[in-house]
Amino acid sequence: MKLSKDQIEQLKKLISYKGYPEIDVQYEILDHVACKIEELLEENPKLSLEAAFAKVHASFGIFGFSTLEESYKKMIEKRLWGYYWNELKRLFTSFRIVFPLGLIVIFFQSSIVLEDSKAWILMMIGFLFFSFIWIVIHYWNTHKKFKKYASYMASNSVFQMTNFGVIICLYGYNFVYRREGVQEGLFAKIFIGIILTAIAFLFVSIFVLPRVLDRSIADTEALIKVYGEE
């Protein structure tokens, strides 16, 4: 027998009660359990949908549907990082590379004009700081709109990167530009080198993170067209 629309909605609620609130995760689990539930209901028409669901859930063992959820989210995470590396490659092989290179030239020129060899660090830190704030503000409404979809919530790693970026900016300002709390020596040079490397990584990333988020949003919108808005 085929499950009706009402039965599918009921199953989604049962899956949600098991601790899977994301809409696309619910449908991913539903894809794996619907056929088994249909078979049980065909074998025993008197069996309630809840009882059939409980039997199917038990058949997945002590971890229930968590294996399916983990597999689905890992796939999304892998796809998201694939977008990141793809956009990074496109940046370095397109005319858009002139923007980060142009800013670097401007930052270094500021050191010459201001006669401060470290002014470029302060300029880069300021650029990163305000760029991260812009990303959070610009995508905040989208974040609230799509937070019920694991497909979009995987992009939280991008927002975690912005948090990491703000922390690095603060460390970079205090320990590299102002050199507060940093002693001279090999360890200090290594520490400062790590911070500068992180700043360089974040500087390049800031030119691709919005595109990565846009692709994640596009994936989620495609799912909404399939599953329907809730």
Report helix angle 49-59 to 5-17, nearest 10.
50
Distance of CA 13 to the CA centre of its chain: 26
Distance CA(117)–CA(120), nearest Å, equals: 7
Number of C-beta neighbours around residue 120 at 10 A: 20
pLDDT in tens, the chain (230 residues): 577 778 888 888 888 888 888 888 888 888 888 888 888 888 888 888 888 888 888 888 888 888 888 888 888 888 988 999 999 999 999 998 999 889 888 888 887 777 777 777 788 878 888 888 888 888 888 888 888 888 888 777 766 766 677 777 776 666 666 655 555 666 667 777 777 788 888 888 889 989 988 998 898 888 877 666 55
Please state the pTM of the whole predicted model.
0.77
- Nearest Cα neighbor of 228 from 2, 8, 74 is 8
**Tokens 């020129």 sit on residue:** 109
204 Cβ contact partners less than 8 Å away, ≥ 6 residues apart: 88, 91, 100
Residue type, 212: V
49 Cβ contact partners less than 8 Å away, ≥ 6 residues apart: 7, 10, 11, 37, 41
- Nearest Cα neighbor of 142 from 163, 158, 118 is 158
148 Cβ contact partners less than 8 Å away, ≥ 6 residues apart: 21, 22, 23, 230
Distance CA(218)–CA(201), nearest Å, equals: 26
- Nearest Cα neighbor of 104 from 125, 120, 88 is 120
- Residue 85's pLDDT is what? 92
Burial code of 16-34, b = ≥16 C-beta within 10 A, e = fewer? eebebebbbbbbbbbeebb
- Nearest Cα neighbor of 158 from 87, 53, 110 is 87
- List, in sequence order, every beta strand (DSSP E) within 40-148: none
Helices (H) and strands (E) in the chain, counts: 10, 0
- Residue 87's pLDDT is what? 93
In the chain, where the domains are located: 5-64, 77-227
- Residue 93's pLDDT is what? 92
